[in-house]
Structures are given as structure tokens and as C-alpha cells.
Amino acid sequence: MTTTLTPPPVDVSRELYGARLPTWGPRAVITAAVAAAAAAYAVGVNLLQAALLAWVICMVLPLWSAAVEGRRKATDRLVTTLVSSAFVLAMFPLFSILWTVISKGTKVLSAEFFTNSMRNVVGEGGGIYHALVGTLLITGAAAVISIPIGIFAAIYLVEYAEGNRLSRWIRFLVDVMTGIPSIVAGLFAYALFVLFFGEGVRMGIGGSVALSVLMIPILVRSTEEMLKLVPNELREASYALGVPKWRTVSKIVLPTSLAGIVTGVTLSIARVIGETAPLLIIVGTTDSVNFNLFDGRMASLPVFAFASQRNPGIPPEFSIDRAWGAALVLLIIVMLLNLIARLVSYFFSPKGER
């Protein structure tokens, strides 16, 4: 009777890829890094030093990989660790800002905070009603001024002036305007209104003009890119049916790019709603509610937060708390605008792009 010996099983993965770290290895290193950072922070080490300690521990993973897997796999794990570290470092300021604003601003949020102004208020009490109204009116007027100009300028560049010298100069100037500091827009609006109303002019519509200077370049560039994405076949099919150019643009091109245009409009509004310098120069601030854009000073959320922090009064804690509350409300408005842009882009984009 013969006995058949069964050969030992062969680890195909090891044969193909060589020695590898255990699957729990990366998770164990990350867990150890987080635990060490938390323990260091608990005993009094500051947050930055704790994060640096966690990063040093994570660098053990490439060294371990070099000892077990070889140089090539260790290099891959090293680059992965560096890229992941860069992502965490980029997210750290964002979450730090959110945590700071939310933790300091939520304690003053109340019905009184949203329905009262600062008229005749000293110390505790008051609210941001006057600043909220001013922000919405000034930004709304800026949108009314900027949206038609930005969209029509983009239509001209894409549909009527593509390739000529004037369009190249317009694009160059739009790119330059995109990078101008916001205070320059405020000085421009102030100089413009001084010509008509004299020195010391302060009115809400001037702030709208200053914000529109910042909005128009963003709208032109975003709308231009969206119009360029419309396939030329749609235009040619419309022209082949004898449809005039203006009707092709209004009935074919604009509806096709509507989602991207609305997204650009919403993001441009979110970009300028928190500007402080231009409004401080041309609009000023006040403690009372003003619904008239063409008469007198108006309050706004960014200027209100700035003024409350700079001149807190006595005692200062109430004014500083209101500044954090105004900053939180402004942050919520910007987040809502970005959410609306995302939803519009999703629901109005072609089904194949969702």
C-alpha cells in the first residue's frame, strides 16, 4: 500500500506580490497615532504638537513597509501617507474655523437676536435685525445689477465675438478684475458717488455697486465656461431649421447651460456677501434699520461683526458675543447658498451627468 503525500498549500498572493504587511497593519498604526495624540492633548500638550506627534507615528508605516515589503511598496506607502497628511492639514483650518464660530456664536442665537436692532442698546441685549436686512438688500441689489451684465457679456464673448481682438481684450480685463482687492472696488464706488453726491456720501446702493464690481468678473467667466460646454451640433441644428441666432441662444443655448449658470450666480453671491472693506467705505454702519438703499447709512453683517469686535464698549463681552453670532449667521447664509448651488446643479443638469 502506497501513501500519497499532499504538497503543502502555496500562498499565491505571496508568490505574486512577495511579503506584505498584515491587513490590520495600517489601521493599527493610524489608531496608535490618534490614541497617542489624544493622550498627549489630554495631559496638556497643545493641539498642534499633538497633531505633529500623530504624524510622526504615522511615518512608522513606511519604515515598517520597507523592512517587510521592500523599497518599492514602502515608497508607495510613504507617498500615500504624505498625500493623506496634506489632506488632513488642508481640512484642519476649515474644521477649526467651523468649530470656533459655532461654539462661540450659538450661545447668543435667539428670537430676540434676530428680531431686534442695536438702537438705544448698551451692554446686554440687542440683535442683528438691522444688519441682516441691510445685507440682504445690498447683496440683492448687487445681484440685480451684476447678473444681466455678466450673463450678456458672456453671451457676447461666446456667441458673437469668438476669436476677434475685442473678445481677447475683454477676457484679459475680466481676468484682471477677478483678482482686484475688494477695497479697490469700494474706493471706486466711493469715487463714483462723490461725483454725484459730494464728499462723505454714504448709501446702500453704493455698496451694491461695489459688490457688483466683484461679482461681474466671476459671473462672466463662469457663464462663459458653461456656454462653451453646449455642443455646437445643437446650434447648427437650430440654424439649419432657419432659427435666428438670438432665438437659438435664448431657446437652445441658455436652457442647456442653465444649471451651470445658476450655480455660478449663486457662488458669486456667496463670494461677495461677506465682504467688509467696500461696505465700510461707501455704506458705513448704523444701529437702526434702514430699508432705503438710496438714503443714508445701512448696517450689514460683516461690518456689524467688525465694528462689534473693534469697539466692544463696556463691558466688552456682550458686544464680542454678538460679533460671533453675526459671523455664525453669515457663515450659515454662505453654506445655504452653496447648498442651493449644489442642488440646482444636480436637479437641472442633464440626467447623464448626475
pLDDT of residue 7: 55
Query: How confident is residue 66, by pLDDT bands cut at 50, 70 and 90?
Result: confident
Which range (300-304, 339-343, 347-351) has the least confidence?
347-351
pLDDT of residue 149: 93
140-162 pLDDT tens trace: 999 999 999 999 999 998 888 87
102-130 pLDDT tens trace: 888 888 888 888 888 878 777 777 788 88
Average pLDDT score over residue span 158-182: 85
Query: For the whole model, what pTM was predicted?
Result: 0.80
Query: How confident is residue 340, by pLDDT bands cut at 50, 70 and 90?
Result: confident
What are the CA-CA distances from residue 292 to residues 130, 273, 274 (Å)? 12, 19, 20
Q: Residue 264 in contact with residue 226, Cβ under 8 Å?
A: yes
In three-state secondary structure terms, 172 is helix
Q: Domain residue spans in the chain?
A: 20-106, 129-353
In CATH, the number for domain 129-353 is 1.10.3720.10
183-235 pLDDT tens trace: 999 999 999 999 888 888 888 899 999 999 999 999 999 999 889 888 888 88
pLDDT of residue 137: 93
Query: How confident is residue 12, by pLDDT bands cut at 50, 70 and 90?
Result: very low
